[in-house]
A = this chain, B = another copy of it.
Amino acid sequence: MNPLRVGILGATGMVGQRFIQLLHNHPWFRVTEVAASERSAGKRYRDAVNWKMAENIPSDVADLTVKLCKPSELRSSAQSCDFVFSALDSDVAGDVELEFARAGIPVVSTAKNYRMEHDVPMIIPEINADHIDIIPIQRKNRGFDRGFIAVKPNCSLQSYLIALYPLHRQFRMTRLIITTMQAVSGAGYPGVPSLDIVDNVVPFIGGEEEKSEQESYKIFGTFSGEKIEHTSDIIISAHCNRVPVIDGHLATISVEFEKKPSREEILRLWKDFRSVPQELELPSAPDPVIYYREEENRPQPRLDRDAGQSVYRDARVDHAGVHYDGVDQVHVSQSGANYAEANQFGMNHAGVNRAKGMAVTCGRLRPCHIFDWRFVCLSHNTIRGAAGGSILLAELLKARGYL
């Protein structure tokens, strides 16, 4: 199989950089185009970007010429692209993404512009993979041919919705009070000034509480075949805070259910949770999806944000986040594990665990004196909550034939 050719819109920003880092040696996708604003267009990517990842710019991307964010620009090239990831700021994403979809180029976006549109699927692949089947309706509504827009939700709610989903499916969540402690990388670059956050907490992030609440209702909604019905059975009240942490959004949860699950039921549901991405063995799908830490003081952003092991393994291991455990030893040695096979393992030739940072980690499950249960959740906001979540969505779209 030839990898799909991918363009990155907003390639020089923080989320754009994270896309490029995560897509390096991806088994299904190859970055062939990078696009950004006029200030960068025409330069080599390595010269245009203020690279902020700890790993270096992948050499094949470093020398690409940055294009403008226009379909004609990306198509004029011989390489072109089969679809684009959009990491654009919301002030330009609206028009640009629409233009690409109209031009027949599917858009998988991290921007907020189309999230609440009734015919745009907003997807956490483990929760509402079926919502992507609204795409034909979207195409029809909007006169798109091959193009469409699919989006991931806000980074903040991804720290806890995945953990709540298996409980909700069985016990029907009714009320939820959340406080998030969110990392500075969530605000992009330059983002949060250091003068605002060193020795400080800022108890406000513009629009974040509203998104945490409203987007959840859509994601937990049902797709009838015609439309996505937002759930009205759940009420959520969120408090969003910025803390001096680089990566990793943490959330404290108090939750009430129609029927109160037991502690054992919750832990069992978390341990056993597998969903569409795991069944489809998508390259970036983590398995386990949810870790539960028994220690009384976990999860913690710095220790748990990178948790996640690729789905392709024979033997399970009993602990989180060890990226060198991301592939099963027995399997490898038995199969003679050559390069081609290694790719099938959700790992690239050098053993990268593609699901690093894609799992959610829970801890401190204890009764709530007011609702049913209290606990703590954490996920990596720029991997699971942004670029990684979008890549998983694109893998889902590919597996389901939309790309």
Q: Is the CB of B319 within 8 A of A203?
A: no
Complex Cα gap A196–B191 (Å): 10
Q: Which residue of B lies closest to A306 (CB)?
A: B54
Residue-wise interface mask of A (314-347) relative to B, using a CB-CB cutoff of 8 A (1 in contact, 0 not): 0001111111111101001100111100100001
Q: Is the CB of A246 within 8 A of B299?
A: no
Residue-wise interface mask of A (127-142) relative to B, using a CB-CB cutoff of 8 A (1 in contact, 0 not): 0000000000000000
* Contact A199-B244, Cβ < 8 Å, known A181-B181, A369-B237: yes
Say yes or no: is A352 at the interface (Cβ < 8 Å to chain B).
yes
From the candidates B241, B254, B297, B339, name the one contacting A237 in the complex (CB within 8 A): B254
Q: Is the CB of B339 within 8 A of A333?
A: yes
* Contact A302-B246, Cβ < 8 Å, known A194-B184, A237-B368, A324-B25: yes
Complex Cα gap A370–B209 (Å): 14
Complex Cα gap A370–B371 (Å): 11
- B contact residues around A325 at 8 Å (CB): 56, 350
Q: Is the CB of B329 within 8 A of A349?
A: yes
Q: Is the CB of B200 within 8 A of A301?
A: yes
Say yes or no: is A84 at the interface (Cβ < 8 Å to chain B).
no
Closest CB in chain B relative to A343 CB, distance in Å: 10
- B contact residues around A14 at 8 Å (CB): 195
Say yes or no: is A117 at the interface (Cβ < 8 Å to chain B).
no
Q: Is the CB of A243 within 8 A of B181?
A: yes
- B contact residues around A348 at 8 Å (CB): 324
Q: Which residue of B lies closest to A253 (CB)?
A: B239
Closest CB in chain B relative to A271 CB, distance in Å: 16
Q: Is the CB of B54 within 8 A of A321?
A: yes
Q: Which residues of A (339-380) have their CB < 8 Å from a CB of B?
A: 339, 342, 347-353, 363-364, 368-371, 374, 376
* Contact A336-B333, Cβ < 8 Å, known A193-B192, A237-B368: no
Q: Which residue of B lies closest to A340 (CB)?
A: B333
- B contact residues around A203 at 8 Å (CB): 250, 252, 297-300, 363-364, 376
Closest CB in chain B relative to A217 CB, distance in Å: 11
Residue-wise interface mask of A (174-199) relative to B, using a CB-CB cutoff of 8 A (1 in contact, 0 not): 01110101001100011111111111
Complex Cα gap A194–B189 (Å): 9
From the candidates B195, B244, B298, B350, name the one contacting A351 in the complex (CB within 8 A): B350
* Contact A195-B191, Cβ < 8 Å, known A324-B351, A339-B337: yes
Q: Is the CB of A56 within 8 A of B350?
A: no
List 13 A–B pairs whose Cβ atoms lie within 8 Å, in order of A's numbering.
A24-B322, A54-B303, A54-B321, A55-B321, A57-B319, A192-B193, A201-B250, A201-B301, A237-B374, A243-B243, A332-B349, A336-B339, A342-B351
- Across the A-B interface, give the 3 residue pairs with the lowest CB-CB distance, nearest first: A351-B351, A179-B179, A190-B193
